[in-house]
Amino acid sequence: MRTGVFVQVRLGSTRLPAKALLPLPGGSVIQHVMRALAPVAADVHALLTDPASTAKLAPVAEGEGFLLFTGSPEDVLGRFCAASREYGVDRVVRATGDNPLTCPRLASQILSIHAERRADLSHFLGCPWGTGVEVVESRALFDAERAAADPAEREHITTFHYRHPDRFAIVEEQAPAEAHLPDARVTVDTPEDYERVSRIFQDLYEGSPIGAEAIVRWFGGAGARGASTGGGAA
């Protein structure tokens, strides 16, 4: 059973251009994503991007020991399936390049739960939005690739699976209590998000990935005064 950690990332965002390359203490947004996922046990760690982003992301990926795979700009499901075939992986840990506060411990935990439950798709519920990952079997991705016709099911990798729970074994586990804060938002999608995440890094970053439990404490303490949680789920 080969596992791939795949981070989807491209630089064509309109609301916050090239957000993956924006600086934070200790590195850029995408560098922190890769550093958070590097400890997760896998056979392959790779960024999955589009042709327009390849030139700028290639040296960044190489510098962090990640491979770089270039695929379809819009058919992200197809991009993941192509990468799964290229690298011969049976299971994918899916993360996104706008989540520099991805939690390594949560990623490893949900990967273990997924394997134990023999699931097709797994993720935590209730952790701060931007700290979690999904784990999905490659065969479930290939099934969706064959059947998905709605453009939203091609752009968003697991939408088809959630729309067809009768076809897939989906595990949605509550996050551990110390990492549970469903209204907190730490993804980077807007200038306000970037400002919030920058404050968290300024307050908490000490040279290693910041865990979800530290983020939960930050939102509950003095560091979060004036910071909107932003709502949403991981």
pLDDT band at residue 231 using 50, 70 and 90 as cut-offs = very low
The stretch 200-207 carries a mean pLDDT of 98
The CATH number for 185's domain is 3.90.550.10
Q: Give 233's pLDDT tier (boundaries 50, 70, 90).
A: very low
- At 201, give phi and psi (nearest 5°): -65, -40
pLDDT of residue 95: 98
Q: Which two tokens stand for residue 182?
A: 């469903």
Does residue 37 sit within a domain?
yes
Binning pLDDT at 50, 70 and 90, where does residue 221 land? confident
* Residue 229 located in a structural domain: no
Indicate whether 231 belongs to any domain: no
Asked, for residue 180, whether it belongs to a domain, the answer is yes
Residue 233 belongs to some domain of the structure: no
Q: Domain of residue 44: give its range.
A: 3-224
Report the domain count for the chain. 1
Q: How far apart are CA 119 and CA 122, in angstroms?
A: 7
Q: What is the pLDDT of residues 96-155, one digit of tens each?
A: 999 999 999 999 999 999 999 999 999 999 999 999 999 999 999 999 999 999 999 999
> pLDDT band for position 13 (50/70/90)?
confident
- Domain-embedded: residue 220: yes
- Whether the predicted pLDDT of 232 surpasses 50: no
**Does residue 232 belong to any structural domain of this protein?**
no
pLDDT digits (tens, 9 = 90+) for 14-55: 889 899 999 999 999 999 999 999 999 999 999 999 999 999
pLDDT tier at 224, thresholds 50, 70, 90: low
Tell me if 94 sits within 8 A of 8, measured CB to CB: yes
- 234 within domain boundaries: no
Question: What pLDDT does residue 234 have?
Answer: 34
- What's residue 139's pLDDT? 98
